[in-house]
A and B are shown apart, each in its own frame.
Chain A
Amino acid sequence: MNSAIIKTLLRSGIISLWSALLFLPFKGLQAAGILFILLFLALLLITLTSRLSGHVVSRADIVQKQVAQLIPSNSLYLLLLVLPALTMPLFSRNYMLDVAVLSGIYIILALALNVVVGFTGLLNLGFVAYYAIGAYSFALLNTRLGLGFWSALPLSVVITTAAGFVFAAPALRLKGDYLALVTLGFGEIVRITLNNWDSFTKGPNGISGIDAPFFFGISLAPLSSFYYLVLFFVVLAVIVIRRVHASKIGRAWIALREDEIAASAMGIRSTQYKLYAVSFGAFWAGLAGCLFAAKMRFISPESFTFMESVLILSMVILGGLGSIAGVIVGAVILVALPEALRDIQMYRMLALGAGIVLLMIFRPQGLFRGSSASRS
């Protein structure tokens, strides 16, 4: 028993000394010392309590199961969600609505990426490219050709889908990490091009003066009206993606994700169905881009960086790869939480980074497990 205590002390001491040393050059001696003491005490506490309470992990598992049972699965619960969503503009301030609209746009984006990464298993690190293409097509069609919202929107979505198709056709020969890298390269090339093609995209200055949408003569510029527009598209996206997921195409995607060789042996044309997935994802990402451009009335390449791709991917992973409900929750959390934590804004990206690592280690399947995730 005595040797165990000495061992614990020694172990905690070494770990905290090591951390303090790594911390030293960036924060100075004093901060490193404080870190050492705090970490040492925390480690001791953790070791002691875990020895007292036994298996912490299994207890966490039980809690997770209980939470999972509480998650609404039938339509009555759904109604409880829909009602506040519909009446939100009646009692919320503009700031809340702004966050809600942004959440809606990110929900569509995350759902779109979920089709590619979650359903089909094709990791995409440059998904922001489609978002950017959608937003820029919309902005250019609107400011240069004077097209209104309802004609620019379908055109931009078609352009984005076509871009998704054209790009994916050669890239899909690759698998796994390589595919992820090519998509990353694609995202960066799109951003660098938007940034440098001054004559067409106005470069880093961005495009301003994008018209607000109208609906039968009613301006949708006020946030409360724009909110309903976004809500409509979110609901549309959820319904359509759910239907496609349950269809033959959706099942083919899942089969490809689980085992491509086996799926091909069953007669699924892998390249064709992967192309469907990427184009379908690009379709919704383009739509989200249009909504973003119409909301902000101004876009610039700064909104479409690699970090944005990572953020969307984090939403999908946090919520749970392949789970539609999870992805929606993930998107709302990652949009709303930073807003709530505005006072400690500096630390939120730090927390996001650490959170991603912890999530991967402790709960790689995300908050919600995907409906037909691999059981192996």
Chain B
Amino acid sequence: MFFQQIINGLTLGSVYALIALGYTMVYGILELINFAHGEIYMLGAYLGIIILGFFTAIGLTAYSLPLSLVITFMLTVLFCASYGFTMEKLAYKPLRQAPKLSLLISAIGVSIFLQNYVMITQGATDKVFPSVVGNAGFTFAATRVTYLQAAIISVSGLIMLLLHAFISRTKTGKAMRAVAQDKDMAALVGINTDNIISITFIIGSGLAAVAGMMVSAYYGLVNYSIGYSAGIKAFTAAVLGGIGNIPGAMFGGILLGLIESLGAAYISSEYKDAYAFIILIIILLVKPAGLLGKASEEKI
């Protein structure tokens, strides 16, 4: 029972971590809580279903399931990255000099827009993810792990490792860190900050797409409103680990997933959705810099 919940929590947590990375990277650079990030995740979930449905219709799934899954995966990531890129160019870039409040409200507007766009084009009812992966799995020490769960945990782990290497090893990663530290200084030393911001949105949206696709396969159902709660939870995860801190977001996501599934099992499942908010409030009040973050003084 306990280990079962740990596995469930890890699955959920790695998804939160993937979304949280997008929040934390954008916050690190723009100091914006990108409210629409959860919607990108929701778009990813829908796109997975739509593209896979298209492949089933043209017979590619019957021809080769792994191939169609891989192409679906890539196309979904590509589309979501484009959505993220476009969103930043249209709704956030014109507000670069505006007060932060305007930026946040613009993000809320984007979120409302995308939610209703999907509701209108895809309907308000739940969409079913085609059960291509099934419920197969293995039992290890009296704990059942489905292949899907194993895949979610390992894919997320791999992606996070790659991201970490990208941020810490490559030149672009270095530029991203520089922009996060001080945008004006970074521009002075010749970094094209607009490009870096675009890259950040593209990477973050791609990660959210992966999360969305995996969740829709895991739960089997998606709805246009899933982005909001997943977004808030992932943001909580980002705050939990220390916003702006990339390893912190990974850590916070997994911790939140574990807390939620253990809390639902041992405390109350009705209030499962409230845990994230309670943790969010407690963390912000007690240690606003997060578990792994550094406290920063306000500059006068």
Contacts and interface: CB of A to CB of B under 8 A. Distances in A.
20 contacts: A21-B82, A22-B83, A26-B117, A173-B285, A177-B100, A178-B288, A182-B281, A182-B284, A188-B232, A189-B274, A192-B274, A346-B120, A347-B120, A350-B120, A352-B109, A352-B112, A357-B110, A360-B102, A360-B103, A364-B98
Contact of A176 (B98, B100, B121, B278): B100
Given A171-B281, A357-B91, 6 more contacts: A123-B104, A182-B281, A185-B278, A352-B112, A360-B106, A361-B94
Interface in B92-151: 94-95, 98-106, 108-122
B127 to A, nearest CB: 12
Contacts of A196: 270-271
Interface string A358-375: 011100100000000000
A356 interface: yes
Interface stretch (B43-51, B157-165, B184-192): B43-51
A60 B122 CA distance: 38
Given A22-B86, A357-B91, A180 B104 contact: yes
A177 B33 contact: yes
A353 B100 contact: no
Interface string B270-294: 1101100110110011001000000
Q: When A and B form their complex, which 5 residue pairs have the shortest distance between CB atoms, in order from nearest? A: A356-B109, A353-B113, A353-B112, A185-B277, A357-B109
Contact of B232 (A176, A184, A349): A184
Contact of A22 (B79, B98, B281): B79
B41 interface: no
B228 interface: yes
B235 interface: yes
B10 interface: no
Taking each of B51, B273, B298, which has the highest tally of chain A beta carbons within 10 Å of its own beta carbon?
A: B273
B300 interface: yes
Interface residues on A, range: 35 or more
A313 B86 contact: no
Contacts of B115: 349, 353
A115 to B, nearest CB: 16
B268 to A, nearest CB: 8
A221 interface: no
A364 B120 CA distance: 28
B112 A356 contact: yes
A86 interface: no
A21 B112 CA distance: 21
A11 to B, nearest CB: 14
Contact of A349 (B102, B106, B112, B270): B112
Nearest to A28: B121
Nearest to A306: B228
Contact of A310 (B112, B116, B271, B274): B112
Contacts of B202: none
Given A188-B232, A192-B271, A261-B300, A364 B102 contact: yes
Contact of B118 (A26, A184, A310, A347): A26
A181 B280 contact: yes
Contacts of B285: 170-171, 173-174, 182
B239 interface: yes
A216 B193 CA distance: 68
A364 to B, nearest CB: 5
Given A26-B121, A177-B100, A185 B281 contact: yes
A353 B51 CA distance: 26
Given A25-B50, A357-B91, A174 B113 contact: no
A193 interface: yes
A364 B284 CA distance: 29
B274 A353 contact: no
B106 A357 contact: yes
Contacts of A185: 277-278, 280-281
Interface string B3-46: 00000000000000000000000000001010000000000001
B33 A356 contact: no
A18 interface: yes
B129 to A, nearest CB: 15
A72 interface: no
Given A26-B46, A192-B271, A182 B280 contact: yes
Contacts of A170: 285
A357 B79 CA distance: 22
A27 B121 contact: yes
A364 B122 CA distance: 32
B92 to A, nearest CB: 9
A188 B109 CA distance: 19
Nearest to A310: B108
Contacts of A347: 116, 120
Contacts of A227: none
A186 interface: yes
B110 A353 contact: yes
Contact of A356 (B50, B51, B106): B106
Interface in A7-40: 18, 21-22, 25-27
